[in-house]
Amino acid sequence: MKNNILILPSIIFFLILSIFLYLLIIDRNPSEIPSNLLNKNTPIFEAKSLFKNEKFISANEFKDEIILVNFFATWCKPCRDEHVYIQRFADEKDLKIIGINYKDNNKKAIKWLEDLGNPYENVLIDKKGKIAIDWGVYGIPETFIINSNGIIMYRNVGPITNKIYKKINLIINKNE
């Protein structure tokens, strides 16, 4: 028994090191936090729309089809960078895209979309960031994929890159 105890430190040591090795090898981002809303229903909320007169009521909207929700702002540079991918989603796929304008100025947002193009079927106004908090948003831009049952399937933090664009495409195809 005494002899075996002495070998214990080395066993614990190797166990811990293997865990470290595993974490290094897999593809992970140490600063990204997975969404707590994955596989749950979308938050229930109401919001004013930037272009439409009627109020947006989430219960009526998140059903029957796959929806992409994108939090953005005109003052956010990465949002501008990823805009081209949002536009591609709108053009290439028959996808309903809802934009949520975070802590922004309405006039500036309208101009921004005029200049860059408007891929959004609807743009909601989140002046104080309360909707974002309900979605667990912590760093815009953020993009969510919701399936036809209103369940959040995927969330991306930060601008969409080519790699993420392909990933989202796969997810959309899987859920169609």
Partner 1 sequence: MTIFLGNLFLLLCLIFSISQFFTSQKKNRFRFIAINVNGLLICSFLSFSLLIYSYVISDFSVLNVFENSHTTKPLLYKITGVWGNHEGSLLLWILVLTIFNYFIFKFYNNDNSNFITKTLQVQGLITAGFLLFTILTSNPFQKTVSEQSNGMGFNPILQDPALAIHPPLLYIGYVGFSAAFSMSVATLFLNGDQKIPWYSYMKPFVLTAWTFLTAGIALGSIWAYYELGWGGWWFWDPVENASFMPWLIGTALLHSLIVVEKRKSLMAWVLLLAILAFLLSVIGTFLVRSGILTSVHTFALDPSRGVYILIFTALLGGYSLILFGKKSKNYFDNNYFALFSKEGSILINNVLMIVVCATVFLGTIYPLIIEAFINKKISVGEPYFNSTTIPIIIPAILVMGVGPVLAWNKDRKREIFKKILPSILLTIIMTTLIFLFYQSYNLIGMIGIILGFWIISNNIILLIKKNRNYSKGMLIAHLGIGLLILGITGSSNWQEEKITRLKVSKSTQINEYNIIFKEINEIKGPNYIAIEGNFMVYDKNKNYITNLKPENRYYPITNTFTTEASIHTNLSRDLYLVLGEGNLNDGWVVKVYHNPLVIWIWIGALIIFAGGIVSTSNNLKKIKI
Partner 2 sequence: MNSLILRKITLITITFCITQFFLNTSYSVEPDEILNNPKYELRARNISKNIRCMVCQNQSIDESNAPLAKDLRILIREKIKEGNKDEEIYAFLTDRYGDFILLKPPLNSKTLFLWLLPIIFLILGAYTIFYHNKKSR
Binding site for partner 2 (CB under 8 A): 33-37, 43, 103, 128-129, 133-136, 138-139
Query: Binding partner of residue 59 among partner 1, partner 2, none, CB under 5 to 8 Å per kind?
Result: none
Q: How far is the CB of 148 from partner 2 (least distance, A)?
A: 23
Each as own residue / partner, the long-range contacts of residues 31-36 (CB below 8 Å, 24 or more positions apart, any chain) are 32/157, 33/138, 33/157, 34/155, 35/136, 35/144, 35/152, 35/155, 36/136
Q: CA angle at residue 122 from 139 to 73, to 5 degrees?
A: 30
Query: Binding partner of residue 39 among partner 1, partner 2, none, CB under 5 to 8 Å per kind?
Result: none
Alpha helices in the chain (DSSP H): 2-6, 8-25, 58-61, 77-92, 106-116, 130-134, 162-175
Those residues with Cβ within 8 angstroms of residue 39's Cβ, 6 or more apart along the chain or in another chain: 151, 152, 153
Query: Binding partner of residue 14 among partner 1, partner 2, none, CB under 5 to 8 Å per kind?
Result: partner 1
User: Considering the rule CB under 8 A, would residue 21 count as an interface residue with partner 1?
Assistant: yes
Q: How far is the CB of 170 from partner 1 (least distance, A)?
A: 19
Q: How far is the CB of 108 from partner 1 (least distance, A)?
A: 22
Residues in the site for partner 1, rule: CB under 8 A?
3, 6-7, 9-10, 13-14, 16-17, 19-25, 28, 30-31, 33-34
